[in-house]
Chains A and B, each alone.
Chain A
Amino acid sequence: MARLFLFAIGGSGARVVRSLVHLLAAGVRIPNCEAVVPVLIDPDTQNGDVVRTVELLKLYERLHRQLSDAKRERPDGFFAQPLLTLASLSSADAATSGLRDTFVYDFGGINKSFGEFLHRSSLSPDSGGLVDLLFSKASLDANLDLGFRGSPNVGSVVLNGLMESKEMRFLAQNLRADDRVFFVSSIFGGTGAAGFPLLVKNMRHEGPPLANPDVRKRMKAGALVLLPYFVLDQPSAAEIAQGANFIDSRSFVTKTKTALSYYAQHLKGVDATYYLGDEPGQPLANNPGKDAQRNAAHLIELVGALAPVHFMCLADPDISDRPLYHEFGLKAGGDPSDFDFAQLPDDLRATVARPLIRFHYFARYLTQHTPGETSNAAYANQIDLGARLKNDVALRDLNDFLTRYDGWLKELGLNRRHFRALRPDRTNFNEMVADKAPKTGGGLLGIGGDKGITPDVVKGQLNDAMGKLHHAKDAHPDERRAFQLLIAAFDAATEALVKEKLQYA
């Protein structure tokens, strides 16, 4: 099976990966994909979006590893999608290459100005003149540790260094014929807009320094091109006068147009392009880089995360003739400001909405009810959950992950085109899904009847599931096994709840 190399470039790329990780955690599977290998590329290694996503990836990878059995692949369920770091493709090679085992490309911390990077001062008069003609003084003076601050032309030069890097050489060496590559970047910023075409050019470039030119030439490539979907606060005149760093979001559309014009003429080698953009809502805080650049999650990123999923659905023959282009349509009349799963087509309701609902039930129950049931619920007793919750690393990781999930979900609700499909503020399971509620009532005088999904119902399901899973050999499961059992129980329980109670389809 193929592997998918997922290059997420810049802050927007990182945020799409963040959403993708939550989707994968919920059990969304990337079809025909043996493993996803995300590579986050941003010279601004302090970028809040990147850091957050890398940590999330690490958590996921550990949780996935805890749940995986060398013997058999988990076909589905929470954390089922294998996700690998570059180094883990070939640990032996990686070791000799000196590759770090991480998801983020190592720029080695560029802490100099672009002019210094180019060695502007030691250039000949004419080459120096050419550089001055091609780049503004502000660009030459800007320190690269903040990324390219909306200057893709600067990015194109700096990121070209990527191609000489050990990561790229390693990747090229380890390519297989059926591997695919997918690029995620925005087009209106600096890093993504620059890095994406550069990576494509280099990938398709036939010559050295990269290995496997034949593979690279034939390899199927997809790309999510994010068009503007948010705006930033415009700094005050006083702040501008003080020389405040900022990104001028008023130029987003102009830059998008310019870049797209350029792509239309000059970018070749992408087999499937996914365009995505939206009218912006309230402006976000304006932080050009570093830790402070940490934008709230956005529905567009969630939708964008579905692009590589779609790309992997496409069979090779479908994308061999001519480039494909895609856009995403919501099933909705007009331009609704709120999003719920009803706006997804049926297939996505099944493959995306349904796992997310299950994961939401899981997350809510595990964090809100399970801690109080460790001594009086069978599913908990069987794996000695009370003690493990405090001590087991995996459970702590899970808890951490679920906390991040909760944050992500809440953020999704903040931006225009609010994500309202799941309601993070509700504790009543019957009210958690916007587009469908469990059938309740039918009893007489308030006695009996169906109360929908109640904690007791969930607990019952969990107990049932655990009971089915529990084998004699699991009398005293080790930490790893206990964790697997717990997740499996929730997998089964939530599946049943969605199917029987919510009757989601």
Chain B
Amino acid sequence: MSKILRRHTTGPTTHEGWGATGPITKDELKSMPDPEGGRAQQTAVAIPSPFARMHLVETALEYVRQHPTETASIHHRLLGQLWDAWEVIFNYHQLEKAGRKLLIRTWQRQPEMAKLEADPSTRPLAAVLRLYLEQSDERFGRLTDVHLFYWTRANGTPYLLAGTSPLTALFPAPDLPEALMQRTEGGGAYFDGHYVPLGAREGAFQQYLYESWVAEPGFRTQFRALEAVLDADRIRQLEFGTPPDLGAGYERLRDHTGNPVTICGLPLRVRPDESVIASSDFFIVPTKTAAGPLPLVLKPGMRAPGKYYFNKKSWDDATQVPATDARLLADRTLPGVSFQYPYLTINDLLEDTLLAVPYQIDERKFACGQVKTTRDAPQDFGPLLPLKPRFFDYFTPADLARLLTVEVTAHHVRVALRIPVQHGGFIEFERAYHDNPQLDGVGKLQVTNVGLAIFPFVRASDAPQYNDLYKVMLVDANTLDERAMHQPVKLEFWHQGAAIGETGGEKSATRYDRTPKTPTEEGSAYYTVRGEREEPDGRGSQRKVGQDVAFELVVVQHPGGGRSLAVPLWPTVTQGTGQFRFAVDFGTTNTHVAWNEGTTPEPKAFGFGADESPVGLLKKMFVQRDQNGQPLATQEQTPYERLVMAGIEDDARKIRLKRLSAYLEREFVPPMIGADGSPYAFPIRTATSESADFTTRPAVLLGNVNIGFGLITEELSPSYYFTNLKWSIGSDRFTESRVRAFFEELLLLFRAKVLLARPTGNVAQTRLTWFAPLSFSVPQRNLFQREWNQAYQRIFQTAQEALCVAESTAPYYYLTELNKITLGETDTAAFVDIGGGTTDVLLYADRAPVLNTSFRFAGTDLWGDGGARVTRKENGLVRYGLDQLVPATFGRSAQRAHNRVLKAVENPAYTSDDVASFLFAYDGELGFSRLLHRAQHLRVLFYLHFGAIVYHIGQLTKLYGLPVPRYLCLTGRGSLYVQLLRDGSDTETVTAMVRRILEATAGPVPARFEIVFVPDPKQATANGGVLANVATRPNPQAAKPTGVLPAAEPTDADGKPAPHTLEPAQITDAVQAAVLANVGACLDLLLTDPALVRLHPDLGIRNAPGQVRAILEKHLADSLTTHRQQYARLLEAGAPVPETLFFLPLKEALVGLSKELHSATTSTSAA
């Protein structure tokens, strides 16, 4: 034995020195160990030929034949690439459908070689190609073309995939990147470097190759190396069967010029274009018309024996359906067959997290599917829907009741979603959700402490332009978890299959964060979902037209992941024909809305109960149940309480949502008003509720500003309510925004009412009336008209204008139209409407209104703190009421009422009349009226206030030469104090009082003089507005006597009194003296006239003689000056004072009187 210096282990071993052996052939090479070879970094292109890469494949095939069990060698990798390339080419049509078309070019030997040889710079290349084409392997001699297969990257740039080879049919290109496309079968992605043998690849591809081998003898003779790795048995089997018809089963592939692709004369064929799927047992059967081809519905591990996958292909239970397919639906290829067709799998439809809210969901307002609850399941628990929005591409929310089952147990929620497929079948997707999922495929159950409400919760099916604006409240109480604490829950709104973007476009869903979360308190955010498009209005400019945004889905996103759906079941209505009329008495203190619709002329106070609520609250109304779980026949609490009031808090379960009601009332819209136990009813306080940052950001209705319904129930202090809207408008832009928001919210409520009422009204037919006090200046009146018009025309999509009615005439319309009072032919009457800020008077004679007037002397002057901006609440009447309350005697409701009053007292933004309105609002609980009956030392205030008004009416009557009225009709919320005055005695005493004053100022009073106390006096104005008709009711002459009474005002050419205008600067000392003299005469009459003085005890008035007059005297002049100056400040230059000067001295004097009378009594009793 010698040591032979060689690497292989075979051959002779005995010679010394150079000895004869044989050539090293494949047998010797086989014995050459190559342990490191598979780990080489670079592909070894060790063949000294430019066609080395073609040879390399042949070498690889030989190696793989010899080492069939290996997988990692570079030879295996190369063969894997060859099969990958061939399989990709085989799926040519399917890839084209998937947007990854193959480009096939052809290198033609003859012309290309000629070109290369013609150019000196490329001649060396030509020479070496020619040398090897002619001198190496005879198979190259037959080569006429090399086809080049290009594929495209995601960005569209082509890259080489493979070429044809006379040695092995195809050879892969160098530097192949991973294709990011899953192999149909065999696992992994094409060109991922893993060797997938032919036998593990898609059956159809294998079948094609073997059929080619048998049917096309050229494959066998030319590509022997390839045959070596094919399954010989399978070839034999095919040979014994019917000869395959390649032409029938496959298509010939053509290059980019349309010429057939051949390899050494053998046609290259591909799978036919199968993507036209004519039939399948798995076609989805949607209830909506879906765009594009109907997807198949498949799921992992699906067993469907006997079903057709598509066309005539049977479903194979072994087909691997992924749970998730990241590709777009249109880009998907069907599992197991790799040609492009859309299909849906479980994660397309089911989320892996289920969000639940800590209360039951109102299944009448939000789709819940079929919910099955076990006995031990938590009661205060509402699962949202763990559905992907894609579900609704095919189905409607109404389908959920049929297709979705949600089973709630103590430990988990199991969701089953049945998707109808062809021929009556269903594919059922099922997923269980646990708190702490441990297994794949099990979803996570996450409680999210949110409250959700939609306003207005209605959709007009026949008038989508009215589905253009929705406000969504989100109360986020996820405060216990650290992560959730610092991130908000977010909502996304889907409409017509797509999420509505934040801004821009015709649809938007804008979020407004209002109240920030704190570790102990919920936060709130509000979404405005708006659809709006600009259209030419036909007059050369653009107008905004509402676009339907009645979203089908609300996606709730919990911080840190987890999404589920709230699917509103919109009350969907078709408009009726009824014409609704709304009249808004936007008063200084209170606002009243009356409405009617054609068939029921009697105006009603605006409101709505639970059944026609425009607020869609996710939370369900709590129902008390007996021991058997049956609802109690009589529920202890009102519907409002059961819906709104219940707080939810359970730290152990990380549940906290205790003040849903507070946000609903303070920042949103109460779900019931004037019904079903709601604490709110019209008239409401004229107030807005605002966010803390209201003045620093643009105003957003129901974002940072809204009607302050909650003011009277507010338990927090300070909070952001703003009153005094009516008279501040025009003075700053914030108030303008407040008033606008107030109007808009009202109008949205009206629109919802029209749609939700039974029968439904017609939105465009709706009419709106508003009231202007006579004391409004022209700019003020125009400003209001503009605001009303803009909001009305936009929200009702109408060109109509809001009807403006003089405030003072409205009660008259109401009372006469509905025969509340009947006036004879010769009857005269004075309609007196005492509001919070203004008193309106209409004088009637000769069967028609003849004069109206208005002055700012009303409720505020009795209950308020005067013109000076005093925020200490020192009004004697109010203080008296507060002092007299004895909390110890209060029951539960009185206590709550008292608390709210005290909060109002604490609120620095409130004045005494705000507190007074609280006291009256809770009169039933606290008995403020009863206390005032006993306040003998203060009742003189009612007397003086009312007396002064009557005194002025008497003087006016005389001035204008009108007959003394037979009736005095009292309306308006402010007139209620006259009732207090009356109730102290009887109607006759008050009648006697008025009669005496009129006699003293206007002359003889008709014998049958009467004071008419109208039922619901506070609603007369609004009711009158509902009935008013601008066409038939011209406003009567307006009187704004600014001159000095009783002296006659200037007369016009006809000798009639001409309106005497007086600018603030024109109010001279002489004028002031005359005004004060007249006031003095009035007070003399009221306080010293024997006939009147005799009435005082019956009116419950008792004061020390001279005391009242003395106190008043101190304030009269100052009051006149103060208010003159205020006018000088507020009015534009040249604008006259819009009311009589008569009441100006009394305004501050009465307030001063109330303070002093009260404090005197207090100190007396203290002494």
Contact = CB atoms under 8 A, between A and B. Distances in A.
Contacts of B105: 125-126, 129
Contacts of B824: none
Given A119-B121, A119-B122, A251 B48 contact: no
Contacts of A193: 46, 48
B1062 to A, nearest CB: 94
A125 B112 CA distance: 10
Given A137-B175, A153-B52, A266 B148 contact: no
Nearest to A249: B36
A258 B47 CA distance: 7
A255 B44 contact: yes
Contacts of A347: 17
Interface stretch (A77-85, A318-326, A393-401, A469-477): A318-326
A461 B290 CA distance: 111
A276 interface: yes
Contacts of A387: none
Interface in A99-138: 117-119, 122-127, 129-138
Contacts of B732: none
Nearest to A127: B112
A127 B17 contact: no
A124 B112 contact: yes
B1052 interface: no
Contacts of B7: 227-228, 253, 256, 277-279
Contact of B45 (A153, A256, A277): A153
A19 interface: no
- Greatest chain B CB density within 10 A among A202, A260, A327 is at A327
A344 interface: yes
Given A133-B146, A329-B19, A344-B17, A262 B48 contact: yes
B37 interface: yes
A262 B74 CA distance: 17
Contact of B59 (A202, A258, A331): A258
Nearest to B122: A119
A264 B26 contact: yes
B677 to A, nearest CB: 75
Interface stretch (A289-297, A333-341, A405-413, A452-460): A333-341
A152 B173 contact: no
Nearest to A247: B42
B173 A133 contact: yes
A493 to B, nearest CB: 29
Interface residues of B, number: 79
Contact of A336 (B3, B112, B162): B3
B1164 interface: no
Given A127-B115, A136-B174, A152 B46 contact: yes
B128 interface: yes
B851 interface: no
A286 to B, nearest CB: 12
Contacts of B24: 260, 264, 275, 325
B18 A306 contact: yes
A329 B16 CA distance: 4
Nearest to A258: B46
Interface size grouping (class) on chain A: 35 or more
Contacts of A138: 42, 175
Interface string B33-62: 110110111111111111111111001001
B115 A265 contact: no
Contacts of A201: 131, 135-136
Nearest to B29: A257
Interface string B100-122: 00000111100010011001011
A198 B49 CA distance: 8
B65 to A, nearest CB: 13
Contacts of B107: 126-127, 129-130
Given A156-B48, A194-B48, A329-B4, A133 B21 contact: no
A331 B16 contact: yes
Contacts of B42: 138, 150, 248, 251
Given A123-B122, A156-B128, A257-B34, A188 B16 contact: no
B961 interface: no
B26 A126 contact: no
Given A250-B39, A257-B32, A324-B20, A133 B160 contact: yes
Question: Lowest 3 CB-CB distances: which A-B pairs, in order?
Answer: A255-B46, A329-B2, A153-B52
Given A258-B59, A259-B46, A329-B5, 7 more contacts: A129-B148, A153-B45, A156-B52, A201-B136, A253-B32, A327-B19, A327-B21
13 contacts: A119-B125, A126-B107, A133-B146, A134-B54, A137-B175, A153-B51, A196-B48, A326-B21, A329-B14, A329-B17, A333-B1, A334-B3, A347-B17
Interface of B: 1-7, 11-26, 29, 32-34, 36-37, 39-56, 59, 62, 74, 105-108, 112, 115-116, 119, 121-122, 124-125, 127-128, 131-132, 135-137, 146, 148, 150, 160, 162-163, 171, 173-175
Interface of A: 117-119, 122-127, 129-139, 150-153, 155-157, 160-161, 163-164, 187-188, 193-198, 201-202, 205, 227-229, 240, 248, 250-251, 253-262, 264-266, 273-279, 300, 303, 306-307, 310, 323-336, 343-345, 347-348
